[in-house]
Chains A and B, each alone.
Chain A
Amino acid sequence: MRSYSTLLGVAALAVAGCTSMEHAATAPAKPAVGYGKAINEADIAPWNIDIRTSDGRGLPPGSGNVAQGKAIYEAKCVACHGADAKGGSVYGTMVGGIGSFKTNTRVLTPGSMYPYAPILFDYIRRTMPMDRPQSLTANEVYALSAYLLNLNGLVPANAVMDATTLPKVQMPNRDGFVRDDRPDAKAARCMTNCN
């Protein structure tokens, strides 16, 4: 009987603590036990691939330059993205568009859109090439980042990208974002003779 009344008390607390009754009615309290197994951060390393792109935290050792990037691009990327990353059989251009956001034809490329250059590293490493994601080495990803930044006129032809240099590349859209400020529409509930 003791455990039964304890359960009832916990259920009552759960209901009282929730704002949404129909959800509260089905929500049990967190059990007093846990089933997770402790794991060492070192064992998570193969999955721990996120880069904090605003400052490059998480970028691995290694480096790559524009020429290396061009060679890798032509071997592994050109089939979908086209010569010089200007658009290919599957995807549109990855070059240009800087300055287009004040026109009616916005061109979204890594050069025009990314606020932080390490986004290139994070995204290429986790997703590319599409038919064999997460197969590129850190050096290859740095090299591809250098090549795409160079095509967009954001680093010189002799640039070398690594964990130190990549976060320092100044992206033109760095200050191009505002945090969500909605609701932005204030419609009235007019019922008759409305427009």
Chain B
Amino acid sequence: MATDTRTRSAPKRTPLPKEEDARLESEDRRAFLRKSAAMAGGALAAGGVASASRAAPLPIAPATQEMGRPIEQWAYGSPSKFEKHVARRRTDVLTNRQNWSDWSMSPLQHQQGIVTPNGVIFERHHAGTPDIDPATHRLVVHGMVRQPLEFTMSDLMRYPSVSRFYFLECSGNGLTNWVKTSSQTVQQSHGLLSAGQWTGIPVSWLLEEAGVQSAGTWVLFEGADGSAHTRSVPMKKVLDDCLIVYGANGEMLRPENGYPLRAFVPGWEGNVSVKWLRRIKVSDQPWHFRSETARYTDPLPDGRWRQFSFEMECKSVITRPSGEMKIDRPGPLEIIGFAWSGNGRITAVDVSVDGGRNWQQAELEAPVLDKMLTRFRYRWNWNGSPAVLQSRAVDSTGYVQPTVADLQKTRFTTGFIQHHNGIQSWSISPAGEVKYALV
């Protein structure tokens, strides 16, 4: 069993890296060598320049022959007008009859690199997006502490900041896709997932300043929005790596992501990273709010519910090719996707092109960071036959991403079910059409 992890900072084109070279099917490799030899021979004959038969001269683009748009006096840049299809979208699987307690999904199939641009970080709100003035916003820390404290944004930004890369995933990502192909695109099936560099300060600093009493073992985070969303989080996790965050990807948080302040609980289901954070309270037990009993719990086959299932377990998905894409012709192509784990770092990703019967280890693209999206790629020579693509991630705890069937051994999966980290399948038709598949 292959367990090595290969990481490289950038793809190389020529010569082919050894690992990629070895992975090419032998027939393909021979074709490649023949072609290279032919090109080299042609180049020699033509005096050092390879040639193709003449077709049509390249047109000079209008943009080359006119002045562009001038620099504006004061502006915040936007994506090209040709990229309007790259946008967050509400779910098209079920339509909530209001769009305040609702969600919208990130266009993972269009993401470049491992950082999600702020304008397309997924949304999940319980009462819409508030517009909060940072000049009047306050955070309080109280409960089982020596001295309750109040902080302005200016106070909080006076501390030295830390900036860390983490993914953020909603526990409901994939909730409709356990037993049927409800979603068609990877945006709809996996788009309650984003990642970025988050800037703020450790929550532990504020707790230490307030002086946590020794019995304080649970922490409440509460939002200042119209849902006053609340969760209980164990003190151990809070002290380990939780942040209060005001920045994302080089700027202040966007309103829909918690401006001006949110909690950030690395690797755990998104809703515990409470947005618009106004209050941190310390207690000796959890509160058992609606948001951690009637919601965000996972049904078990015996009729009970798994509670405080915080970690987002190891998962991966192929983003290209993915649902509703079309492969234009047979031949070599790069299968790419994301892998991530709330329990550590990704150590390997395997790809199958035959629906999970046989697997090959994919390449991981550096950087490979703890609790962060990791890019994988696998070069596949598609011969034009039907195929089913899957990816399977392994994390630093040794956990192997399961199939839905594996998860169904211990979980009830009918209805809208959280924590779907099962293997995703995409089918390829002879025409190159890519569709969501269940195998």
Which residues of A are at the interface with B, using a C-beta cutoff of 8 A?
A: 20, 22-23, 26-28, 30-31, 34-41, 44, 47-54, 80, 89-91, 101-102, 104-106, 108, 110, 113-116, 119, 122-123, 126-127, 130, 133-134, 173, 176-195
Contacts and interface: CB of A to CB of B under 8 A. Distances in A.
Given A26-B163, A35-B155, A133-B127, A187 B97 contact: no
A28 B149 contact: no
A180 B310 contact: yes
A121 B210 CA distance: 29
Nearest to B369: A22
B147 interface: yes
B288 A191 contact: no
25 contacts: A22-B367, A27-B162, A28-B160, A30-B208, A36-B149, A38-B148, A47-B140, A48-B142, A52-B283, A52-B287, A53-B288, A106-B415, A108-B294, A115-B293, A126-B227, A126-B228, A134-B228, A178-B306, A180-B306, A180-B309, A182-B309, A184-B410, A184-B411, A191-B360, A192-B359
A59 to B, nearest CB: 13
Given A90-B98, A192-B359, A194-B357, A177 B307 contact: yes
B150 A37 contact: yes
Interface of B: 1-2, 97-98, 100-101, 126-127, 140-142, 147-151, 155-156, 158-160, 162-164, 202, 204-206, 208-210, 220, 222, 226-228, 230, 241, 278-279, 281, 283, 285, 287-290, 293-294, 297, 299-300, 302-311, 313, 348, 350, 355-360, 367, 369-370, 392, 394, 399-403, 406-407, 409-411, 414-415
A189 B400 contact: yes
B307 A180 contact: yes
Nearest to A41: B148
A169 to B, nearest CB: 14
What 8 pairs across the A-B complex have the smallest Cβ distances?
A36-B149, A185-B402, A34-B209, A101-B303, A187-B402, A126-B228, A184-B410, A39-B150
A50 B281 contact: yes
B95 to A, nearest CB: 12
B230 A50 contact: yes
A172 B360 CA distance: 50
Given A35-B156, A47-B278, A189-B1, 18 more contacts: A26-B162, A31-B205, A36-B210, A37-B150, A37-B151, A38-B149, A39-B140, A50-B281, A101-B305, A102-B303, A108-B294, A116-B293, A126-B227, A176-B305, A180-B306, A180-B309, A187-B400, A194-B358
B142 A176 contact: no
Given A47-B279, A182-B309, A185-B410, A36 B155 contact: yes
Contacts of B164: 23, 26
Given A28-B160, A53-B288, A101 B299 contact: yes
Contact of A90 (B97, B151, B206, B299): B97
A142 B359 CA distance: 59
A35 B283 contact: no
A90 B230 CA distance: 23
A37 B294 CA distance: 36
Contact of B151 (A36, A104, A180): A36
B309 A36 contact: no
B290 A182 contact: no
A66 B3 CA distance: 63
A113 B293 contact: yes
B151 to A, nearest CB: 5
Contacts of A36: 141, 149-151, 155, 206, 209-210
Given A104-B414, A115-B288, A176-B303, A191 B394 contact: no
A99 to B, nearest CB: 9
B159 to A, nearest CB: 6
A193 B356 CA distance: 9
A130 B226 contact: yes
Contacts of B160: 28, 31
Contacts of B285: 52, 54
A129 to B, nearest CB: 10
Contacts of B350: 189, 191
Contacts of A193: 357-358
B406 to A, nearest CB: 5
B384 to A, nearest CB: 24
A190 B142 CA distance: 51
B62 to A, nearest CB: 46
Contact of A178 (B307, B357, B358): B307
A195 B388 CA distance: 14
B290 A122 contact: yes
Contact of A20 (B156, B206, B370): B370
A156 B7 CA distance: 66
A28 B159 CA distance: 10
A90 B148 CA distance: 40
Q: Which residue of B155, B156, B293 has the most chain A CB atoms within 10 A of its CB atom?
A: B293
A126 B1 CA distance: 53
Contacts of B415: 105-106
A177 B359 contact: no
A182 B228 contact: no
